[in-house]
Amino acid sequence: MVDRLKGKVAVVIGGATGMGRGTVLRFVEEGAKVVIADRNRIGSEETLDLARRISPDVEIVDVDVSKWEQVQDMIERTVARFGRLDVAVNLAAILMLTPPLVEIEERQWDMIMDTNLKGVFFCCKAAIPEMIKSGGGSIINISSSAGIDSWTRSLPYNVSKAGVIHLTRVAAGQYTSRGVRINCIIPGPFDTPQARGSTQSTEAIEAIGPQHPMGRLGQPEDMASAILFLASEEASYISGSILTVDGGARVARPRM
C-alpha cells in the first residue's frame, strides 16, 4: 500500500465482480473510501466482504444506472456516508449478442444503450456537481475495443461503447477547467465472469490466451492498475484521454 488515494472517496459503478471488484480492492488498498454500486447484490456483498478485510470504509449501494433517480440516490448516499466525492468509475455495462441490424429488436437496442451509454451519462451528470463542490475529481469511463472496431456480433454494443468514448471527450472539454478530469479506457480481451458467461464460453476464453501477443488475457488486476493511475494525482495533467489497455492485441492483430 502506498496510499495513492488516501483521503479520497470513490464510487465504483459495476463494482460487484470482475474488473469492478478488482478496482474496489485496489482502491481500498490505496487508502480510498469506496462505495460499491451495482445491481448484483450477491456479487456486491462478496466484494464488500473482501474489501472490509482491508478497510472498514466500504459500503454498498444498489443501483440500476439506466434509472436517473437511482443514480442520484447513489451519489447522494455516497456523499452522505463519506462527506464528498473524488472519483467515479463507470464500469457498469451489458453485452447482449444480437443478429444483424435489420433483425435487431427495439427492446434489445434500448436495453444495451440505456445501460452502456445513458447510464454513463447519468453517472457523470450526477457526479460532476459533487466533484466541483469538493474542489475537483476524476471520472474514468470504460469503453471497449468494440467502440473503435467493427465487431459484428452486437451492433448496439459497438455503438454504445463508441458513444462512451465521444461522451468522455466532450465532457472533458466542458469540465476540465472546473477541476474534473474525465478519461476513458478501452479494454481489450480480458478474462472476466462476463467474458466466460454471457459472451463467451470458458473454453473459448482459454483458447484466446495462447494467441494473444502477451500469451495471456488481461486480468481484473491489470484494469485496476490502469484505473488507479487515472484516478490518482499521478495523472493530474491528463484529461480527455483515451487509454487502450489490451496488452498490444490491437497493434498485433495480424498474429491473432
Give 23-32 pLDDT, tens digit per residue: 999 999 999 9
Lowest model confidence (mean pLDDT) among 26-30, 53-57, 98-102, 148-152: 148-152
- Per-residue pLDDT tens for 41-62? 999 999 999 999 999 999 999 9
pLDDT recorded at residue 256: 42
Q: What is the 3-state secondary structure (H, E, C) of 15-36?
A: CCCHHHHHHHHHHHHCCCEEEE
pLDDT for the residue numbered 199: 55
Give pLDDT, residue 80.
Answer: 98
* C-alpha cell belonging to residue 82: 463519506
pLDDT for the residue numbered 150: 83
Question: What does the alpha-carbon distance between residue 100 and residue 14 come to, in Å, rounded to a whole number?
Answer: 28
- At 38, the pLDDT band (50, 70, 90 cuts) reads very high
Q: Is the pLDDT of residue 213 over 90?
A: no
DSSP class of residue 252 equals T
pLDDT of residue 255 exceeding 60, the answer is no
Per the document, the length of the chain is: 256
- The answer to whether 175 is a known catalytic residue is no
Using pLDDT thresholds of 50, 70 and 90, give the confidence band for residue 202.
low
CATH fold for the domain made of 9-249? Rossmann fold (3.40.50)
Tell which wins on pLDDT, 99 or 200.
99
pLDDT above 90 covers a percentage of the chain that reads 78
At 217, is the pLDDT very low, low, confident or very high (cuts 50, 70, 90)?
A: confident
pLDDT, mean over the chain: 91
Of 157, 161, 218, 247, the catalytic one is 157
Q: In what order do the strands lie in the sheet containing 180-187?
A: 58-62, 33-38, 9-13, 87-90, 137-142, 180-187, 242-245
